[in-house]
Copies of this chain bind each other. A is one copy, B any other.
Amino acid sequence: MLQTSSELPDFFSRHRALLEQAVAATAARDHWTPYPESPSKSVYGEDAAKNGEAAFQEQLGGHVELAGHPGDGRVSAAETSPYGFELGISYPRVAPDEAVAAALAATGPWRDAGPDTRAGVAAEILARLNAASFEIAHAVQHTTGQAFVMAFQAGGPHAQDRGLEAVAYAWAEQKRHPGAARWSKPQRKGGPQVLDKKFTPVGRGVSLLIACNTFPTWNGYPGLFASLVTGNPVVVKPHPGAVLPLAITVRIAREVLAEAGFDPNLVILAAEEPGGRSAAVLALHPDVRIVDFTGSTEFGDWLEANARQALVYTEKAGLNTVVLDSTDDYRGLLGNLAFSLALYSGQMCTTPQNLLIPRDGITTDQGPRSADEFAADLGTALDKVLGDPARAAGTLGTIVNDGVRDRLEQAASVGRTVRASASVEHPEYPKAVVRTPLIARLDAEGDRGTYTREWFGPVSFVIGTDSTEHSLRILRETVRAHGALTAAVHSTSEPVLDAAELVALDAGVHLSENLTGGVFVNQSAAFSDFHGSAANPAASATLSDPAFVTGRFATLQSRRPAPAEETTDA
């Protein structure tokens, strides 16, 4: 039941100032966010936490109904909380062809609405997602295994930041050209040639979001919002283990779209059971023209090779690397790095894996430290970070799935284990699988086959090299060949930092230098830090930059002679 246009809310006017601030923030790159990251009552209100949890609990064992959604029947997603219970939630069942057809059928008025209206609708969706941050936080916690505060921040406000950032880029790029212009070319004789021209941004076609298990909203929102704002309908295909956070997102998006007078099928949920193949089927559909994917290198490479009718934006895996040369704050370095490894049990695509250090060691404000001593010190720093069981659980979260657990067990027999992974009992959830990070000592020469693979999860290697120069060479070679989402260096020498910066440019990876305080290499802030670079094999997309949005639409032009009465005086 569509409303008549006179009754329709004007979301663009409501959010215009925010959108303009967001565009300015992408250019300034200082700290900026409209979505507070603190889950406190003073920010989100007295009852927000309680209501959000209740909203989550009410969905357990139930069915998520989406009014007007295509398809029929139900999908039992078999989501299991890594904290040890079944979610038991079912979702609408829709066949790939039905999803694409419904999305296509919704496109026309969305195209005709123009970039301002689309950006306004997107900003309203984000405002309501922000209001639902507690509900989403519980959904993220119990699908990804993140600890609650992280699930709130990364799954809520930080994901919304990344979504708004994509809205800002998409909106601004569509407005690079005017909606209309008059072209007047002087002639040697007589009056000018005068044409009136129209320019219309037109979406590329149906967009497919293939989301991941660990950060369904944070990694999913940029593609979802970039496609939507550039005029494309979006079919959201969640990971079977993390459907609920995106189901809530789709529900809210559809509510706003319908209120704004559009077909809610501009955003469709394509949930499926574990083991389904609908991601691959959807990705090859001839009308699917954009694919956003976060996940394994194997499936990402398959998409890039096979979904040839589509623009494919991937974030895959890589070898996140730290080069250790010297430091004037050894304790800060160890504490910072230990926390980076422990956070969400190393299950971030940005967690360092390869720690490169000269075998003979580095100079520090605590005296020289050999590679072996550094490895031992890092293990001790981890013990300290994880010393208090309650705080440890809040940092580690849980192991997201059996694949990570199996890999961790395999890593115990690799190189020389310096710090073994251990089980930790969760204070609230006795069935949760909680594991501390493993650190193994490898050598740059002998163990290349081991450290040039990604070991996603709480597995890191202290790798002995000949020298810092050698470390930088390995950084360059391995990241160029295998990719990375993050790189870091610790050095007190400006020439070494300069060399590291050049190597990072060569390798195509963003670089963090001398982080010893409260900022961690695995964190990136929307509107200031880029995530991914599209310049190494780990990702073909950057969250977010103009390249992330420009391919999602074309600016189509029409031109006609200007009315004679308007041109005779020219």
Footprint of B on A, CB under 8 Å?
Answer: 26-31, 38, 111, 173, 176-178, 181-188, 192-193, 195, 197-200, 202, 204, 304-305, 308, 497, 501, 504-505, 508-519, 525, 528-530, 533-535, 542, 545-547, 550-551, 554-561
Contact = CB atoms under 8 A, between A and B. Distances in A.
Nearest to A533: B554
For the complex of A and B, list the 3 residue pairs with the smallest distance between their C-beta atoms, beginning with the closest. A513-B560, A547-B550, A535-B554
Contacts of A27: 176-178
Given A305-B308, A509-B556, A510-B556, 6 more contacts: A29-B183, A30-B182, A30-B183, A177-B545, A535-B556, A542-B554
Q: How many copies does the complex hold?
A: 2
A512 B560 contact: yes
A321 to B, nearest CB: 14
Contacts of A545: 177, 550, 555
Nearest to A28: B181
A514 B31 contact: no
A547 B556 contact: no
Contacts of A558: 501, 504, 510-513
A530 B555 contact: yes
Contacts of A517: 193, 561
Given A27-B177, A185-B525, A515-B561, A550 B546 contact: yes
A173 B533 contact: no
A508 to B, nearest CB: 6
A534 B550 CA distance: 11
25 contacts: A26-B177, A29-B177, A29-B183, A29-B199, A30-B184, A31-B184, A31-B186, A111-B505, A183-B525, A193-B518, A197-B528, A198-B501, A305-B308, A508-B554, A510-B556, A510-B557, A510-B558, A512-B560, A513-B561, A515-B561, A516-B561, A529-B557, A530-B557, A546-B546, A547-B551
A508 B556 contact: yes
A561 B492 CA distance: 12
B193 A519 contact: yes
A421 to B, nearest CB: 30
A556 B500 CA distance: 13
Among A26, A28, A184, A550, residue most surrounded by chain B Cβ atoms (within 10 Å): A550
A519 to B, nearest CB: 6
A48 B514 CA distance: 60
A54 to B, nearest CB: 28
A28 B432 CA distance: 60
A198 to B, nearest CB: 7
Nearest to A29: B181
